[in-house]
Structure 1
Amino acid sequence: MNYTILVTGSAYGTQNASTAFLFCESLIKMYHTLNSIFFYFDGVLNANNFNQTPIDEFDLVRGWQKLHEKYKVKLYVCISAALRRGVVEDEELLKKNFKKGNLASFFQLSGLIELANSIKLSDRIIQF
């Protein structure tokens, strides 16, 4: 079965993103196809490279990155929601406060068209 995952919960502060991550790992272990993961609303905070996780906690941002590296799962981030929440990749948008953007590696800024295309290819869409 083909799945698209929609993550609307932030990386920390709610269980939405961590539950989504565990669900994605389970899908892959059960040999389902994970078309893409789309981060929307506060879910875009999962792509913030400036997140600092204590040593004794699971680093969710790095977890998403490893999921991409190991299984080539596409990690799409809604560009409008990201800009509203300060997640950017272009240094011009940061008004020269930083040398580079804070969009974590392997996350791609995209529009809702990527979500629509993923849904079209999927049997199921699950929102967290």
Structure 2
Amino acid sequence: MNYTILVTGSAYGTQNASTAFLFCQALVKTTHILHSIFFYCDGVSNANSMITPAIDEFNLIKAWQKLNKKYQVNLYVCYSAALRRGILENDNTDHSNIKKGNLALFFQTSGLIELANSINICDRIIQF
């Protein structure tokens, strides 16, 4: 079975995003396919590289990045929702070594059309 996960809960302050991560982590260890994870509304905060949890807290942003690296799961971030919440893409047109955006590595911005395509090809969508 193919899954798309929709994360609308912020990285910290609610259990939504951490529960979504734990679900995704369990899902990739089965025979099911995790097609993509789409971050929408306050869920886009999961892609903010400026969020730094306390040293004794679980770093959810790094956990999403590791999930992407290990299982090649697409991490899509709604472009409009990200802009509304101050999350900007890195500007690679300026060739100075100054990072201008705060979109975390391995996350990619997209529109709702990507979510619609994922829903269309997957058997299940689960929202957290």
TM-score after normalising by structure 2 = 0.92
Aligned length: 122
Q: Counterparts of 2:48 and 2:71 in 1: how far apart (Å)?
A: 21
Aligned to 2:108: 108
Q: Counterparts of 2:99 and 2:46 in 1: how far apart (Å)?
A: 21
TM alignment of 1:1-128, pairs within 5 A: 1-91=1-91, 99-128=99-128
Give CA-to-partner distance per residue, 1:43-72, whole Å, 9 cap, x none: 000000001011111100000000000000
What SS class does the counterpart of residue 125 from structure 1 fall into?
strand
Give CA-to-partner distance per residue, 1:65-103, whole Å, 9 cap, x none: 000000000000000000000001145xxxxxx841000
Give CA-to-partner distance per residue, 1:3-22, whole Å, 9 cap, x none: 00000000000000000000
C-alpha displacement of 1:28: 0.8
AA matched with 1:37: I
AA matched with 1:32: H
What SS class does the counterpart of residue 118 from structure 2 fall into?
helix
Aligned to 1:94: none
In the alignment, is the contact (CA less than 8 A) between 2:90 and 2:99 conserved in 1? no
Instruction: List gaps (5 residues or longer) in structure 1.
Output: 92-97
Moved over 6 A (4+): none
AA matched with 1:54: A
TM-score after normalising by structure 1 = 0.92
Instruction: List gaps (5 residues or longer) in structure 2.
Output: 92-97
Question: Which structure shows the higher helix fraction?
Answer: 1
Percentage identity across paired residues of the two chains = 72
What SS class does the counterpart of residue 17 from structure 2 fall into?
helix
What SS class does the counterpart of residue 66 from structure 1 fall into?
helix
In the alignment, is the contact (CA less than 8 A) between 2:41 and 2:81 conserved in 1? yes
